[in-house]
Amino acid sequence: MKHVEKTNKFFIYEESNKPVMSIDPGETISFSSEDCFQNLLTDCSIVKTDLLNKGITINPSSGPVYVNGAMPGDTLKVHIDDILLDDQYGTLAIIAEEFGVLGKYFDKEETIKVDLTDGVAKFFDGKANLKIRPMVGVLAVTPKGYGAPTSTPGTYGGNMDCKLINKGTTLYLPVSVEGALLGMGDIHALQSDGEILAAVECPGTITVTVNLIKDRHEEWPVLETDDAFYVICSVDDIDEANNYALIAMAEFLGKRTEKFTQKEWIVLMGIIGDLQICEIADPKMASRFRIPKFLDENLKF
């Protein structure tokens, strides 16, 4: 199995990035990743602002990897086989200026280390013990014609911070450049919907199996879990992101109308679909819309 070392990191998804390796469709590959702070918040005496004041960029992505045969108009199918954490602790950066309306409840900036031994996140000296659920914060192909910082999301994927991108799920990404130029990183041990404050940031290794769907793609990333499909849409405003997610799901279902017409699907979206927030913490905000699979056992990407 091929492996991308965490030293192969970058901070902008752009066509000029030189691939670190190539893979064939169907291959399994692993990506080692630093945490979003480049593993530099080594103890509680260092805070996020210290890094920013030194000009350090956050949210490294590992890669990129060239997928043989991938061309604009195709879809990259990325199955998350496993997410393993490197360390027995995670890091929270508490910085009031980034917490919106909740910032007023914090009087100082802090770095908090969270014990993750035995797969349990132990908060506040064990007063709250939560089972970890590792997820991938940043996973993307490279967009065409512009550079996309790894700290932002978009049609190409990116920093979606969707807590459902975890082991066993599949992400479908629209290919815009030759070879797709796939990269990923920013592992979280735990994160809430919305990422309203901070996630538990961790270094680790992501193992994925990459396949290629030729001559077909959606405008936005599509996530498949055991029981549902989701579309994930990211723009500057959360209300606008919600609207994009509604339209994207209507378009997705409208192309798959063997059992229901598009209008029937849209009615069902209003009855049994769920509009959910991935994150409101980044420069662009991400929403997702969920439709359960049980409505149509033949519903496929």
Residue-wise pLDDT tens digits, 117-135: 999 999 998 999 999 999 9
Work out the average pLDDT over 252-262.
93
Work out the average pLDDT over 221-247.
97
pLDDT attached to residue 27: 98
Residue 161 has pLDDT above 90, yes or no: yes
pLDDT attached to residue 100: 83
Q: Where are the domains of the chain?
A: 2-213, 222-295
- Cα–Cα distance list, 185 to 62, 86, 126, 239 (Å): 6, 13, 28, 27
Residue 190 and residue 157: Cα distance in Å, rounded?
20
CA 87 to chain centre: 20
Grade residue 9 by pLDDT with cuts at 50, 70 and 90: very high
Residue 234 and residue 281: Cα distance in Å, rounded?
12
Instruction: Give buried/exposed letters for 251-262 (b at 16+ CB in 10 A, else e).
Output: ebbeebeeebee
pLDDT attached to residue 121: 97
Contact 144, 178 (CB under 8 A): no
Work out the average pLDDT over 16-21.
98
Fold agreement (2-213, 222-295) = no
Grade residue 282 by pLDDT with cuts at 50, 70 and 90: confident
pLDDT attached to residue 44: 94
2-213 falls under which CATH superfamily? Acetamidase/Formamidase-like domains (2.60.120.580)
Q: Which tens digits make up the pLDDT trace of 57-116?
A: 999 999 999 999 999 999 999 999 999 999 899 999 998 888 888 889 998 999 999 999
Q: Which residue has the higher pLDDT, 36 or 100?
A: 36
Instruction: Identify the CATH assignment for 222-295 out of 3.90.79.10, 1.25.40.10, 1.10.10.10, 3.10.28.20.
Output: 3.10.28.20
Burial of 294 from C-beta contacts in 10 A (0-12 / 13-18 / 19+): exposed
pLDDT attached to residue 87: 87
Burial of 28 from C-beta contacts in 10 A (0-12 / 13-18 / 19+): middle
- Cα–Cα distance list, 226 to 29, 145, 181 (Å): 22, 35, 27
pLDDT attached to residue 209: 99
Handedness of CA 12, 289, 71, 68 (dihedral sign): positive
